[in-house]
A = this chain, B = another copy of it.
Amino acid sequence: MVYKKIDSADVAVLQQICGGEYVKAGDAINEDFSHDELSGIHVFPEVLVEPANTEQVSAIMRYAHQQNIPVTPRGQGTGLVGGSVAVNGGIMLSLCRMNRIVELDPSTMTLTVEPGVLLMDIYKYVEPLGLFYPADPGEKSATIGGNINTNAGGMRAVKYGVTRDYVRGLEVVLADGSILMLNGKNAKNSSGYSLKDLVIGSEGTLAIVTKAILKLIPLPTRVVSLLVPFPDLSTAIRAVPEVARLKAMPTSIEFMEKQVIIAAEEYLGKKFPDKSADAFLLLTFDGNQKEAIEAAYTEAAETCLAAGAIDAFIADTLERRDAIWTARGAFLEAIKASTTEMDECDVVVPRDRIAAFVEYTRELQNELKVRIRSFGHAGDGNMHIYVLRDDLDEKTWQSILAQAFERLYQRARQYGGQVSGEHGIGFAKKSYLAESLGETTIGLMRGIKHVFDPKNILNPDKIC
């Protein structure tokens, strides 16, 4: 594609739409906007625009569409696959100023938000009112717009599902500037193709989300975590399917290894409650009745012990729970801090294949002579696997990384898994997606992209 390069006339138009202070060009653009949290792709947009509302987004898109300028929507830039990097230059559309909570509607139990609202601000707003937004991605400073665009999952997916399950409606702006409302506050909908579900997870390539209507449920009053040490990771992970199918469903089932916990301790300067074992499962249960939760974690503890656990610690005080979850929350940053560079594989496999998959990463580590660390959502089959560069030279690193990724994705495919469980495809994982899904499926996706964005100006060169 040949796109129009931004000139001063374009900047003037954008300034007229958004106001002078919300349009920055050239050197005025902060370096932060040239990359995301991990993908290693560095490209500056030609112009950074920060619209205040849907009408401004629509006006920007109308202009970009006329002029054939690529547009990259962006939230907080916490992505890991380059989805929010302006790989073709053009306009970067930061949605961070659109961060109002528009309406809490108690009758329909919905929360209407703008895309720039942070995940942590949603929790802070609804929980004191006894309401719950269950989707729980690790990065709480991500925007809800970003969460919707990657269909972010998180810890509580075992019991509560992922972002998709809590989006009732979306207001979106199309590539040509049209504004559409997809569904709304309705709890059911069978009125034509679900365009809402198509936009969810589309990484800003089909439309720009300008408002989201989120489904809330009543906040459970009690939460208890159970930390279960195991002699080794394989034993731990083999216990997962048994725990996951207990009557009292766990909210989350995370796995963690001693090495990663130690890295988190060092990173945080805070002690983890127990490091006696090589591997741990971290289980959480929630509900409203004390007796019911006690029964649930007792049954889970017994199941784990029968499956080879060394012990089971109840973290029912806020302090202990915080110590554990703070460590869990710091895993990504801690691993990142422990090496020079790294890349991530966010595969998801059916739950009964996790044990075999994690064992395979061990084999690979030995075979390729590279450090591989992993943690993740054992309960839903979604692992975050990090290949670490350490002191490898550039050529060796690129070669080993390519081999490791090729093998990991191939194994995931063999197990009926998918390339990404929750972080998306963006720019970095495109070739792996193409290989995983095959030509026919990718062809359908390209066709859909063309229907929504025939001039290919919306976040081009992402996904497919």
Contacts and interface: CB of A to CB of B under 8 A. Distances in A.
28 contacts: A105-B350, A106-B245, A107-B241, A107-B351, A108-B352, A152-B190, A174-B440, A186-B350, A186-B416, A186-B417, A187-B380, A190-B420, A190-B423, A190-B425, A191-B437, A192-B437, A192-B463, A193-B198, A193-B445, A193-B449, A193-B463, A194-B200, A195-B441, A195-B445, A218-B245, A218-B248, A289-B291, A447-B451
Contacts of A421: 186, 188-190
A397 to B, nearest CB: 25
B288 A291 contact: no
A188 B182 CA distance: 23
A191 B437 CA distance: 9
A106 B241 contact: yes
A206 B440 CA distance: 14
Closest 7 CB pairs of A and B: A447-B451, A107-B352, A197-B197, A187-B380, A185-B350, A188-B421, A107-B241
Given A198-B193, A217-B249, A289 B292 contact: yes
A180 interface: yes
B151 A190 contact: yes
Interface stretch (A119-127, A157-165, A336-344, A365-373): A157-165
For A183, A246, A451, A463, the residue with the greatest tally of chain B CB atoms inside 10 Å of its CB is: A451
A420 B189 CA distance: 6
Contact of A464 (B192, B422, B445): B192
A202 interface: yes
Contacts of A249: 217-218
Contacts of A436: 191
A241 B377 CA distance: 35
Contacts of A157: 187-188
A221 interface: yes
Contact of A382 (B188, B295, B424, B444): B188
A280 B381 CA distance: 44
A13 to B, nearest CB: 24
B291 A108 contact: no
A419 interface: yes
Contacts of A289: 289, 291-292, 295
Contact of A187 (B180, B184, B246, B381): B381
Interface string A387-420: 0000000000000000000000000000011111
A288 B285 CA distance: 15
Contacts of A195: 441, 444-445
A12 interface: no
B350 A180 contact: no
A116 interface: no
Contact of A188 (B153, B247, B451): B153
Contacts of A158: 187
Given A174-B440, A183-B418, A441-B180, A433 B350 contact: no
A22 interface: no
A187 B382 contact: yes
B151 A381 contact: no
Contacts of A221: 247
